[in-house]
Structure 1
Amino acid sequence: MLSERALPPQPSLPERRRGGRARRAAGGAGATKAGLVLRRIPTYELLGEEALLALEEQADWILSEIGIEFRGDAEARRLFAAAGCSVEGDRVRFQPGQATALCATAPAEFTLHARDPHYSVALGGDHLVLMPGYGSPFVTDLDRGRRYATIEDFRNFVKLAWMSPWLHHSGGTVCEPTDIPVNKRHLDMVHAHLTLSAKPFMGSVTAPERAADSIEMSRIAFGADFVAENAVMQGNINVNSPLVFDETMSGALRTYAEAGQCVCVSPAIFGGAMGPVTPAAVAAQTHAEAMAGIALAQLARPGCPIVYGSFHNTMSLKTGSLTFGSPEANLVTLVLGQLARRLDVPVRSGGGQITSANSADGQAMADSTSAMWATLLSGANQVWHAAGWLEGGLTMGYEKFVMDLDQCGAMLRMIEGMEVNAGTLTPESYREAGPGENFLSTRHTLQHFATANFIPDISEGGAFERWAEDGCRTVEERANDRWKAMLSAYEPPPIDPGVDEALTEFVARRKAAMGDDWY
């Protein structure tokens, strides 16, 4: 139960840190359900204790000396004032250590329930959850090129995410369905997540009332009593970096928190624009902004499940254009994993398979792989933008989506680590094959032929002559075939007819009440 009355006594921050370290040291035990993936490789600890303390002290300095503005949200400011923060106008200032203390009621781990319990996921600890890209107004494919996204595109990406074994989450605004009015499109998006998929999903945050609609639809799908006691959806709360929460974001944050649903607080800092240019400053500012949002969620409902998020990258100081997968951004990703673990809360990576490339070319894959490696090594619990991202997030690519799925599968295989035992060392294979012979026909190879190595769907090798005879087809062309085949084979997950009917009726009724206004 998430209510304040049922909240168990909270351990001190040092105890929470020790508990988190103990869980990570114990290692994972493998996946037990489709949605539960455990990391078996260690995280990369970039900074030592002295440097981490310096970043935490800088975050405290920002919160106490500069403060965070909660513009237009009197209720948020009232909650902070009641908690002992200094409030002047829109600006809220914290005493050193106060924000950290306010974050202490956030759970270290929690379950995000899916409509089909088989796909429920755990966030926190050693768990890892991958989800598709988020927020693109455009889509692209080899047949039709770049264009504004429609609800058909949105539904297609929900279907592709549902079909992939490498994505554990349906996502949120995977792309913006621009053919539906802004004030109504959230209804169609949540309806698609709840009916075309049975994996966890994200609701709307573009207005508090749209967040409330999303929660109400989840109550229809899961049952009001279940939603009252469990997290079944997430809301993505972007900070207007530097150091501002606008009324829309903080209002949506409180709406989700008050309902006991997961709040993802995501500062968005591009070094040199929304924060100083140096990685250390970006890390400290992200920590300050994230703690302020987490604190508000805990004041709205102690014990509310949260995810410490970030979306940080660099920019070209020559042109002002954004860059992704850069070494500086990757360093910040690694450090934020450390800072979040010291708070002992689940962390959403700042990376994923992200790129500023305009097509699914070599640059796109180099950027994406660079960012994704840092993401996984950072110890992220939830990875957004794991599939489809192009053009700095402006575009979701169909071919890029399924190319990224192959990379997701390969990287998930990597985090399983290596088992060393009699079965994997297989001394009998040496007796069977002997010196100078190959192992292809040994019993061990035949027994493990289908599972020994990760097998991608799109990548292929082989002789140049065979590739030439097949038309010299590129990986992007093969990906074009792949996403079409997936959509052709799509089958919707089962849903109770009464729930389906109730969701459809709710969407129709809410749309009718909104009239014809596009905004």
Structure 2
Amino acid sequence: MQLLSGDELYEIHMATTEILEQVGVKFLSEKALKILEDAGAFVDFKRGIARIPEHLVTEAVKGAPSCCTVYGRNFDRKMRLGGNRIYFSMGGWFPYVLDIDSGKRREGTLADVELFFRLGDSLENIHLLDWAVWPKDIPEPLVHVYGLLAGFRNTTKPLDGYIYGEIPSEDNLRMASIVAGGVEELKKRPLLLSIENPTSPLQHSKEMVEGLMVYAKYRQPLVIAPEAQSGATAPATLAGLLVQQNAEILSGIVLAELVSPGTPVLYGTVSTIADMKSGNIALGAVEAGLINAATAQLAQYYGLPSRGTGGTTDAKIPDIQAGLEKSVTLLMGALAGVNLVYSFAGTLESTLTMSYEQLVIDDELAGMVSRALSGIKVDEETLAVEVIKKVGPEGHYFTQKHTIQNFMKEHYLPKIFSREKRETWEKAGSRDLRETARVEVKKILEKHRPGPLDRDIEKELEDFVREVEKREAKTEHNV
């Protein structure tokens, strides 16, 4: 799906260049401003604004790789981001979870983090796992180490990393180095992908930008993804939002490439519209799908892998609204070629709430979208002329060898969606999709265990977490 012509992409680029050169972007980090000034940007330290000439953007984009790979801890599960490949991610960092038993919204805990990692590990269409919820039962200065330890223990899939601040980012990357077998090995085979969210309009926060610089130093893939809201923190016109978003993304890419040339970066978005009735964000809006599709095209224009947020919804529970909004926004982004669909699986309520049941439902949805993207293969085997001749009029294909050989390749077979007759469905308890998903969640969590983490590595990680605990306790005492 191509929304924008080549001329329109060029116009967005030129408008962005004008904004970067004449208005600039605010960086709330003196370290970042010094790096930009040394490279040739025009920096006003008093205002914290860097005006970035076009040649710095061109050099940064040219130096960034067109593809990158993120690995799981055993290096066998990996994502090759770029080209026509599309991957789906679990949502993360949310304050709330829908309790699997009561169905009520509550604050997340470390136990939820562990269970979501284990559940996500079992789902074949979910490729990147995030820390589903923010565990309120863990002291805030320790969440980043407890969360990553839970990830390495409970999944062998690639993981998201914590980027909010220089020291926590260093902590996470030291933990990843332990698992990878050292810093140089981690640079060769990255284990963490992390996301820097510019603050729209046209600003990068101190904590995130300094975390970005740490991740760039370790050459871990970075996503630059604004969450601009059309009509609130970005222009009401979607083209205007794309210009502002582009300036925010490209300024982040410039900094990452100046810190460490060749750092893998993903051109990303979390942008959508503001609901002009309530002033709330509308992540399930159809315009979110349009913005994601256009973002994928702009990433392709610059020759970079992309990250979007398809499959988002403003619904509060797994219901019809969630299904409609998730399907529309996911399919639009996927058809446009978003390489990594983030903040998707399990998410509800404008990415404020995670749901166990929704995660299982979204795995099904991702499988259906993947099947749609694979299209229809046409060759001698699939044209099936000989078997059509053999069956002829009034026959059927159930017992044909051709059917046995091909239906698994051609048909997507859902795990929890109901296709049986009403009588069979009623005998099984007349469960709706949410109830069916709840049963599936409990079955998976009862049976599924990821491959074990090497015990020596796990002990080294545990020792490191204790070091951080002592450091933070000492810091708190001194304060």
Cα distance, 1:513 vs structure 2: 2.1
Distance of 1:253 and 1:486 partners within structure 2: 36
Query: Is 1:299–2:258 an aligned residue pair?
Result: yes
Instruction: Give the secondary-structure state (helix, strand or coil) at the position aligned to 2:228.
Output: strand
Q: Larger deviation: 303-312 or 90-99? A: 90-99
CA shift in 2, pair 1:451/1:432, >3 Å: same
Give the equivalent residue in structure 2 for 1:88. Answer: 44
- Name the amino acid aligned to 2:105: R
**CA contact under 8 A between 1:358 and 1:390: conserved in structure 2?**
yes
Query: Is 1:256–2:212 an aligned residue pair?
Result: no
Distance of 2:100 and 2:149 partners within structure 1: 28
Instruction: Give the secondary-structure state (helix, strand or coil) at the position aligned to 2:354.
Output: strand
Instruction: Give the secondary-structure state (helix, strand or coil) at the position aligned to 1:256.
Output: helix
**CA contact under 8 A between 1:280 and 1:332: conserved in structure 2?**
no
- Name the amino acid aligned to 2:21: S
- Name the amino acid aligned to 2:305: P
The within-5 A match list for 1:283-432 is 283-349=242-308, 351-432=309-390
Query: Is 1:164–2:120 an aligned residue pair?
Result: no
Query: Is 1:181–2:153 an aligned residue pair?
Result: no
- Name the amino acid aligned to 1:296: L
Question: Residue deviations 1:165-196, cap 9 Å, x none?
Answer: 1111222x321111101100111111111121
Question: Residue deviations 1:406-454, cap 9 Å, x none?
Answer: 0011111222222111221222322331211111121212333544411
Cα distance, 1:63 vs structure 2: 0.9
Question: Residue deviations 1:264-293, cap 9 Å, x none?
Answer: 111110111111111101111111100000
Give the equivalent residue in structure 2 for 1:123. Answer: 81
Distance of 1:102 and 1:428 partners within structure 2: 56
Instruction: Give the secondary-structure state (helix, strand or coil) at the position aligned to 2:431.
Output: coil
**CA contact under 8 A between 1:218 and 1:232: conserved in structure 2?**
yes
CA shift in 2, pair 1:245/1:452, >3 Å: same
- Name the amino acid aligned to 2:3: L
Q: Larger deviation: 322-331 or 364-373? A: 322-331
CA shift in 2, pair 1:59/1:97, >3 Å: farther
Instruction: Give the secondary-structure state (helix, strand or coil) at the position aligned to 1:117.
Output: coil
**CA contact under 8 A between 1:134 and 1:384: conserved in structure 2?**
no
**CA contact under 8 A between 1:100 and 1:343: conserved in structure 2?**
no
Give the equivalent residue in structure 2 for 1:484. Answer: 442
- Name the amino acid aligned to 1:246: S
Distance of 1:452 and 1:106 partners within structure 2: 37
Instruction: Give the secondary-structure state (helix, strand or coil) at the position aligned to 1:311.
Output: coil
Distance of 1:85 and 1:467 partners within structure 2: 65
Give the equivalent residue in structure 1 for 2:469. Answer: 511
2:402 alignment partner, one of 426, 433, 444: 444
**Identity, % of aligned positions:** 28
Distance of 2:8 and 2:277 partners within structure 1: 30
The within-5 A match list for 1:497-508 is 497-508=455-466
Q: Which runs of 5+ in 2 are unaligned?
A: none
**CA contact under 8 A between 1:241 and 1:275: conserved in structure 2?**
yes
How many residues get paired?
Answer: 473
Q: Normalization by structure 2: what TM-score? A: 0.95
1:66 alignment partner, one of 16, 20, 23: 23
Query: Is 1:460–2:444 an aligned residue pair?
Result: no
Q: Which runs of 5+ in 1 are unaligned?
A: 1-43
Cα distance, 1:97 vs structure 2: 4.8
Question: Residue deviations 1:53-91, cap 9 Å, x none?
Answer: 1111111121112110001x1111011101111001200
Q: Larger deviation: 351-360 or 493-502? A: 493-502
Cα distance, 1:386 vs structure 2: 2.7
Q: Normalization by structure 1: what TM-score? A: 0.88
Distance of 1:345 and 1:452 partners within structure 2: 31
Distance of 1:75 and 1:446 partners within structure 2: 63
**CA contact under 8 A between 2:145 and 2:465: conserved in structure 1?**
yes
**CA contact under 8 A between 1:139 and 1:396: conserved in structure 2?**
yes
Distance of 1:347 and 1:451 partners within structure 2: 28
